[in-house]
C-alpha cells in the first residue's frame, strides 16, 4: 500500500513527539511492505510567525491533497495576546471545517501497567476500553443566533443549540459502525428530558439504529452519564453525543485512564481524516525531552486503522506500546515507584524495539 501523509508537528512538544510517531510509521511500513510518504507543513504558532496565518493556504492544500493528516499540537504563551481569529488554535477549527471532519473519536483505554496512575480505584478502572464519538461541527458552538447584547440593566449573552436530522444521522452512523468493530454496544447521551434538540437527537438515533440490528442501543441523560463514568466506566463501549456534551465527557473519560499524554484522537468525516493526541503543546515541558509521545504514536495507529484499514498494523503498534509499559519504561508524567524514567526519544526507541526493529 502507498499513502501520502501530511505531517503537521505544530508548536511546543508537537515538534518533539511527532518525530517519534513518524519513526514508528516508517518502521511499520518497512516491516509490512507499505510506503508512507511524509510531507511536512506549518500550522499554529510557527505558521503565524512564518506567514501571519495559523493555517496558511499551502498547509490546507497539503492536507486536502493527502490521504490523512497527522497533527502534533498548537499554541503557546507567545501567541496568547493575538485576537481570537489569529490565534494558533484557529488552525484546528479551519482544518476540521475545510476537511469536513464532523466526527471526533476519542478512545479511552486503561493500559494494565498504568492502573496506579488513575485517580480512581484499580477495580473501577481495570479493563476500561471505551470510545467517545463526539459530533464536531454542529451544536451550540456553531448555532445561531449567538452573541452578547446590551439590555436595559446590563448585558445578555446567548448561544443556540441546533441539530438537524442529517447531522444527527451521520454521526449516529459513525458510532454504530464503530460499535460493530468493537463490542457492539452504543450509548447515546443526550438531555432529551429538557432540550428539544436532544429530543430530535434521540428520535433520529433510534431511526438510524434500525439499520444496525446487530448493535445494542441504550440512551442515557448526560448528567447521569457524567456520574456513571466515574461510578462504573466499564459499562461503556461506544458513546455518541453532541459537540458540547462530548467536549466535557471525553475529557472526563480521558482522565479515568491516567495521563493526558497517553491518549489519541481521530477526526473523520469526508475523505481525509485527521489524527492527533488530545493534549496541547505543553509549553511548561517543551524542548526538554520530557513529553510523552505515546498519545501521538497511538494516533498514528488510529490513522492506520481508520483511514487505511490497516488493522493488523495498528494492533502491532498498540501491543508495542503495551509491552513497553509492561517493562516499566515511563516518561515523567506516568512515572511510578520502581519504574525506569525515560525521555521522549528513548520512549520512541523502546516502542520501536518492541516492534522488532
Ligand atoms: P496541555 O495539554 O498542553 O498541558 C496540560 C498539562 O499536561 C501540562 O502540565 C503539560 O505539561 C501536560 N502534558 C500535556 N501533554 C503531555 C505529554 N505528551 N507528556 C507529558 N505531559 C503532558 O494544555 P494547556 O497547558 O492548557 O495548553 C497549552 C497550549 O496548548 C495552549 O496554548 C492551548 O491553547 C494549546 N492546546 C492545544 C491543543 C491542540 O493542539 N489540540 C489542545 C489543547 C490545548
Cβ of 333 less than 6 Å from ligand 1: yes
Same domain, 284 and 242: no
In this structure, the answer to whether residues 194 and 222 fall within a common structural domain is: yes
How many domains would you assign to the chain? 2
Tell me, in angstroms, the distance from the centre of ligand 1 to residue 8's CA: 16
Tell whether 26 is covered by a domain: yes
Q: Does the residue 122 lie in any domain? A: no
Same-domain pairing of 301 and 250: no
In terms of domains, do 88 and 141 share one? no
Quick check: is 124 in a domain?
A: no
Last residue of a domain, one of 195, 227, 256: 256
Q: Is residue 118 part of a domain?
A: no
Q: What is the distance in A from the centroid of ligand 1 to the CA of 311?
A: 29
Per-residue pLDDT of the chain (357 residues; tens, 9 = 90+): 999 999 999 999 999 999 999 999 999 999 999 999 999 999 999 999 999 999 999 999 999 999 999 999 999 999 999 998 899 999 998 999 899 999 999 999 998 888 887 889 999 999 999 999 999 999 999 999 999 999 999 999 999 999 999 999 999 999 999 999 899 999 999 999 999 999 999 999 999 999 999 999 999 999 999 999 999 999 999 999 999 999 999 989 988 887 789 999 999 998 999 999 999 999 999 999 999 999 999 999 999 999 999 999 999 999 999 999 999 999 999 988 899 999 999 999 999 999 987
| Domain boundaries, position 292 | 1-107+259-357
Q: Residue 117 has what pLDDT?
A: 77
Q: Are residues 251 and 134 in the same domain?
A: yes
Do 141 and 246 lie in one domain? The reply is yes
Q: Are 54 and 74 in contact (CB under 8 A)?
A: yes
112 in a domain, yes or no? no
Same domain for 228 and 182, yes or no, is: yes
Q: Check whether residue 134 and residue 248 sit in a common domain.
A: yes
| CA nearest to 218, candidates 252, 183, 248 | 183
User: How many angstroms separate the alpha carbon of residue 280 from the centre of ligand 1?
Assistant: 3
Do residues 38 and 52 share a domain?
A: yes
Residue 115 forms part of a structural domain: no
Q: List active site positions.
A: 141, 191, 223, 247, 251
pTM for the model: 0.92
Domain final position from 256, 284, 304: 256
Residues 12, 65: one domain? yes
Q: Is 281 in the pocket of ligand 1 (CB under 6 A)?
A: yes
Residue ending a domain, among 256, 283, 308, is: 256
Asked if residue 198 belongs to a domain, the reply is: yes
Residue 55 backbone phi and psi in degrees, to 5: -130, 85
CA separation for the pair 107, 266 (Å, rounded): 9
Q: Which atom of ligand 1 is nearest to the CA of 79?
A: 32
- SS3 at position 130: strand
Residue 14: Cβ within 10 Å count: 29
Say whether both 263 and 240 belong to one domain.
Answer: no
Nearest CA residue ID for atom 34, ligand 1: 75
Residue 190: phi and psi, rounded to 5, are -150, -170
What are the φ/ψ torsions at residue 2 (nearest 5 degrees)? -125, 125
The CATH number of the domain where 297 resides is what? Answer: 3.40.718.10
Amino acid at each position: 500500500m502507498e499513502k501520502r501523509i501530511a505531517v503537521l508537528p505544530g508548536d511546543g512538544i508537537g515538534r518533539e513527539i511527532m518525530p517519534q510517531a513518524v519513526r514508528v510509521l516508517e518502521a511499520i511500513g518497512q516491516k509490512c511492505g507499505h510506503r508512507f510518504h511524509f510531507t511536512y507543513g506549518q500550522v499554529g504558532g510557527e505558521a503565524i510567525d512564518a506567514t501571519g496565518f495559523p493555517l496558511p493556504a499551502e498547509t490546507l492544500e497539503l492536507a486536502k491533497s493527502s490521504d490523512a493528516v497527522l497533527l502534533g499540537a498548537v499554541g503557546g504563551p507567545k501567541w496568547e495576546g493575538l485576537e481570537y481569529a489569529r490565534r494558533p488554535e484557529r488552525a484546528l477549527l479551519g482544518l476540521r471545517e475545510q476537511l469536513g471532519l464532523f466526527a471526533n473519536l476519542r478512545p479511552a483505554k486503561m493500559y494494565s501497567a498504568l492502573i496506579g496512575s488513575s485517580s480512581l480505584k484499580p477495580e473501577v478502572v481495570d479493563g476500561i476500553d471505551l470510545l467517545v464519538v463526539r459530533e464536531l461541527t454542529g451544536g451550540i458552538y456553531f448555532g445561531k443566533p449567538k452573541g452578547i447584547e446590551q439590555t436595559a440593566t446590563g448585558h445578555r449573552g446567548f448561544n443556540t443549540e441546533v441539530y438537524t436530522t442529517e447531522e444527527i444521522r451521520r454521526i449516529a452512523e459513525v458510532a454504530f459502525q464503530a460499535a460493530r468493530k468493537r463490542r457492539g454496544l452504543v450509548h447515546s447521551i443526550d438531555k432529551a428530558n429538557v432540550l428539544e434538540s436532544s429530543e430530535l437527537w434521540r428520535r433520529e438515533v433510534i431511526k438510524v439504529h434500525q439499520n444496525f440490528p446487530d448493535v445494542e442501543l441504550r440512551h442515557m441523560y448526560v448528567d447521569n452519564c457524567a456520574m456513571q463514568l466515574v461510578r462504573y466506566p466499564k459499562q461503556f463501549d461506544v458513546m455518541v453525543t453532541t459537540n458540547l456534551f462530548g467536549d466535557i465527557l471525553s475529557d472526563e473519560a480521558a482522565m479515568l485512564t491516567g495521563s493526558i499524554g497517553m491518549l489519541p484522537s481521530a477526526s473523520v468525516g469526508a475523505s481525509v481524516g485527521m489524527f492527533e493526541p488530545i493534549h496541547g503543546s505543553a509549553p511548561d515541558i517543551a524542548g526538554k525531552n520530557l513529553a510523552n509521545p505515546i498519545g501521538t504514536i497511538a494516533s498514528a495507529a488510529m490513522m492506520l486503522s481508520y483511514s487505511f484499514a490497516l488493522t493488523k498494523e495498528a494492533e502491532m503498534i498498540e501491543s508495542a506500546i503495551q509491552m513497553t509499559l509492561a517493562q516499566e519504561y515511563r516518561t515523567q508524567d506516568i512515572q511510578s515507584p520502581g519504574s525506569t524514567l525515560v525521555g521522549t526519544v528513548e520512549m520512541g526507541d523502546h516502542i520501536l524495539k518492541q516492534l522488532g526493529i
